[in-house]
Chain A
Amino acid sequence: MSGEKAKEKRIRRVNVLALLFITVCACAVSYLAGHMWFQIIFTCLLFGLMAVLGFAKTGLGFMAVYLICHLWLQINLNLGLRFPSPMTFSFIIELVPILMPVYLLVQAPSGKLTAGLRQLPLPTRVTLTVIVILRFMPSVMAEFADVKDAMRIRGFLRSPFQVLRHPLNTMEYVIVPMVFRSLIIADELASSCIVRGIENPCKKQGYYLNQMHPGDGVLMAGALIITVLFAVL
Chain B
Amino acid sequence: MQTVIEIKNLSFAYEGVKEQLKNINLTVLKGEVVVLTGPSGGGKSTLTRVINGLVPYFYEGMLTGDVLLMGKKLSDIPSWERGRYVGNVFQDPRSQFFANEVAGEIAFGCENYGMNHKEIMESVEHTARELKIADILDEKVRFLSYGMRQRVAIASARAMDPLIYVMDEPSANLDMKAAQNLAEILLGLKREGKTIFIAEHRLHYLQDIADRIIYLRDGEIAAEFLPREAAALAAGHRGQLGLRSMTLENLPVLPDTADSEQDALLEVRGLNKAFGRHCVADDLTFSCRPGEVIAVVGPNAAGKSTLGKMLAGLMKEDSGEVSFAKRKLKASGRRGLIWYIMQDLDSQLFGEDLMNELLTGQKRTPEREERAKAILASLNLVEFMEQHPMTLSGGQKQRLALGVALMNESPVIILDEPTSGLDGKNMQNVSRQIRLLAKQGHIILMITHDIECALSTCSRALHLQDGRLADDFKIESAGQLLAVMR
Binds B, one of A16-24, A48-56, A173-181: A173-181
B16 CB contacts on chain A under 8 angstroms? none
Q: Which residue of A lies closest to B97 (CB)?
A: A192
- A12 to B101 CA separation, bound complex (whole angstroms): 11
A193 CB contacts on chain B under 8 angstroms? 98
A185 within 8 A of B: yes
A195 CB contacts on chain B under 8 angstroms? 52-54, 82-83, 86, 88
Q: Is B79 a contact partner of A207 (Cβ separation < 8 A)?
A: no
Q: Is B314 a contact partner of A149 (Cβ separation < 8 A)?
A: yes
A198 within 8 A of B: yes
Q: Which residue of A lies closest to B339 (CB)?
A: A153
- A200 to B95 CA separation, bound complex (whole angstroms): 21
B366 within 8 A of A: no
- A109 to B58 CA separation, bound complex (whole angstroms): 28
Q: Mark contacts of A143-176 with chain B using CB atoms, 8 A cut-off: 1 yes-contact digit, 0 otherwise.
A: 1001101101111100000000000000011001
Our pick among A149, A185, A197, A209 for the contact of B80 (Cβ within 8 Å) is: A197
Q: Is A150 a contact partner of B142 (Cβ separation < 8 A)?
A: no
- A41 to B99 CA separation, bound complex (whole angstroms): 34
Inter-chain CB contacts under 8 Å: number: 179
Our pick among B78, B99, B115, B361 for the contact of A109 (Cβ within 8 Å) is: B99
- Enumerate B97-118 residues with CB–CB distance to A below 8 Å: 97-101, 103-104, 107-117
Max chain B Cβ within 10 angstroms of own Cβ: one of A135, A154, A197, A202: A197
A110 within 8 A of B: yes
Interface size on B, residues (CB 8 A): 69
Our pick among A149, A173, A184 for the contact of B346 (Cβ within 8 Å) is: A184
Q: Is A150 a contact partner of B111 (Cβ separation < 8 A)?
A: no
Q: Is B58 a contact partner of A194 (Cβ separation < 8 A)?
A: yes
Our pick among B78, B99, B276, B342 for the contact of A111 (Cβ within 8 Å) is: B99
A43 within 8 A of B: no
Q: Is B120 a contact partner of A206 (Cβ separation < 8 A)?
A: yes
A114 within 8 A of B: yes
What interface size band does chain A fall in?
Answer: 35 or more
Our pick among A111, A154, A184 for the contact of B361 (Cβ within 8 Å) is: A154
- A190 to B57 CA separation, bound complex (whole angstroms): 12
A142 within 8 A of B: yes
- Enumerate B45-101 residues with CB–CB distance to A below 8 Å: 49, 52-54, 57-59, 78-84, 86, 88, 90, 92, 94-101
Q: Which residue of A lies closest to B405 (CB)?
A: A153
- A152 to B9 CA separation, bound complex (whole angstroms): 51
Known: A109-B99, A191-B58, A195-B88. A8 touches B138 (CB 8 A): yes
- A138 to B95 CA separation, bound complex (whole angstroms): 11
Binds A, one of B319-327, B347-355, B453-461: B347-355
Q: Is B335 a contact partner of A153 (Cβ separation < 8 A)?
A: yes
Q: Is A111 a contact partner of B112 (Cβ separation < 8 A)?
A: no
- A192 to B98 CA separation, bound complex (whole angstroms): 8
- Which 3 interchain pairs have the tightest Cβ spacing? A111-B104, A150-B348, A207-B107
Interface residues, chain A, with chain B CB atoms under 8 Å away: 1, 8, 12, 106, 109-112, 114, 135, 138-139, 142-143, 146-147, 149-150, 152-156, 172-173, 176-177, 180-181, 184-185, 188-209
